[in-house]
Every structure is written in C-alpha cells, then in structure tokens.
Amino acid sequence: MLIPMRYCGREFTEKEMDLIGRLIATGANRQKLSRTFCEEANWRKPDGGLKEMSCKVAFLRMHRDGRIVLPPPAKPANNHLKKPKAMLLPLPKAAPDLSGLKMEIVDGAASALWNAYIEQYHYLGYTPLPGAQLRYLVKSQGEILALLGFSAAAWKCAPRDIYIGWDKEAKKKKNLHLVVNNSRFLILARHPNLASRILSMTARARRIASDWHARYGYKPVLLETFVEKERFAGGCYKASNWTMVGETKGRGKLDVHHEHKVPIKTVWLYPLRRDFTKWLAR
C-alpha cells in the first residue's frame, strides 16, 4: 500500500496517485493535468477557485522526487529568473512630509514599478511572492516613501504554530490561509517614525483584512513576518505592537539534511482579531 505523501500542504492518497497516473496516461499537458486533478479531487482555495498553482508545484516536486513522470513543459518555466525592467527610480527627500501618508494597492502598470524598486533597493532583491498576495506603495504628496508586500504564510514555523495552538496538522492545513505573511517591507526615506507608522496604518481599521477580503473573498486573522536576526532588530515591529514569538532554526523549507544554511530569523505576529486563536485552532 502506498504511504500518503505530503506536497504543498496536501496529503496525496493512493487513490489520488492513481488518478494522477491515469491523467498523465491521457497525454494531457501539465496545465490540463493540474486543472483536471483539482476539479476531480475538489482541491480548491477558500474563495472556491481551483488550487492550480499549488497543484503544479506539487506535481513538479513529485516529478523531481521520482514519484511521477510529467510530460515535457510546453515552454521553459523561467518566470522566477526574469528580472524586473530597469528604470530610473528616484529616492525621496531626506525629510519627507508625512502629513498625507497613504497606502495604494499595486495593480496594473504600478506592478512593474514595485518589482523594480524591490529588485534595486531591497537586500533580498525581487522574486515573485508566493500564493495569494497584496502589494502596496506608501506615498505622501505623490512621492513613494516605502513599499509593502503580503503573501501566503509559511507552511512550517514551529514558534508560530505553538503560539497559535496548532497541535494537529489538520487544523493548520484547514486554516493556514487565514495567516498572511508580511514578506516584503522596504523603506526608502529617512524618518525616525516612518516604519512603525506604516505598520500601524496596515492594522488600523484592519486595512489588510478588508483589502484581502475584497480581492480573495475572506479575511485573514493574523499577520506574520520573519526578521533576519543578524541584520535587523525588529524594532519597528515591536513599536507597532507585534509580538516576537521565537526564532527559526536556520534551515529553510528545503533543508532536509539539517545543514543550517539559511540565516536565523525572529518570528513576529500581529493579530487582526482578538479571538484569532479561536479561528485558527478550530
């Protein structure tokens, strides 16, 4: 009997592996394989849409692990290698005016601008954000002062899971979408209170929760972020009432041999509801 395997947060049973084998035998391309599997296995996002992207990633990992043999890709999967288009990116004044500070959701043409700023000025550079996401430009008087990115939560994070009370994988699998990761935060202007003020704006009136609901049809209840310990102290998160709940082990999600090659990060959480543990641990 085939032991159930976990990929992308889903346990693929023997029956589902048989289904994947039958779909591959039809000669369908990779896109049709993932779409058809999601339809037949009812693998859906919280808003009801098919989890095709997660399915594509899961199938690719199965292929690399030798569990299945996928058909050749229709075109090279090199989106993650593409760099943002180079453009002139001015930095703001040394003493910005914060009187009209506002957050704008990044859509359309602004997407290339956000990507280019992150690539040029963020220490991690640009990589596509995982899963459901929202990106923001923070402006005052029409001038870009900062950029924010929110995306899908990390699957593995022991300090967070313990803090929430996730004692069973089933609970985490069911409710992980209600946690959102502040995966990028870039400050362009010099101002002693700018970072904490922006973080307070994201929580005020539950801005992230309402914007997420407008785009994806549900409201997250908890924010998380990871701060590289040797590089930053996380002072702006502390000043904005985030809670530091522990540290990562420095392994990274693909480190199965315990080589500890990834920088250790502190884990910070911010509840968007007082009863967030009730929602996440149910």
Please tell me whether residue 104 adopts helix, strand or coil conformation: strand
pTM above 0.85, yes or no: no
Strands 222-228 and 265-271: antiparallel
Please tell me whether residue 271 adopts helix, strand or coil conformation: strand
Domains, the chain, in order of start with CATH, read 5-64 (no CATH), 85-280 (3.40.630.30)
Local mean pLDDT, 10-residue blocks, the chain (282 residues): 68 92 93 95 89 90 90 69 74 76 90 94 91 92 92 92 87 88 93 88 79 90 95 93 93 52 92 93 82
What secondary structure letter does DSSP report for 162? Answer: H
What are 136-175's pLDDT values in tens digits?
999 998 889 999 999 999 988 999 999 999 987 778 888 9
Strands (E), the chain: 5-7, 10-12, 102-105, 134-140, 143-152, 179-187, 222-228, 243-247, 265-271
What are 165-219's pLDDT values in tens digits?
998 777 888 899 999 999 999 999 888 888 998 998 887 657 899 999 998 888 9
Task: Report the half-sphere exposure of 12 (CA within 13 A, side-chain side).
Answer: 20
Place of tokens 């690399």: 64
Q: Cβ(145)–Cβ(188) under 8 Å?
A: yes
E strand or H helix at 246: strand 243-247
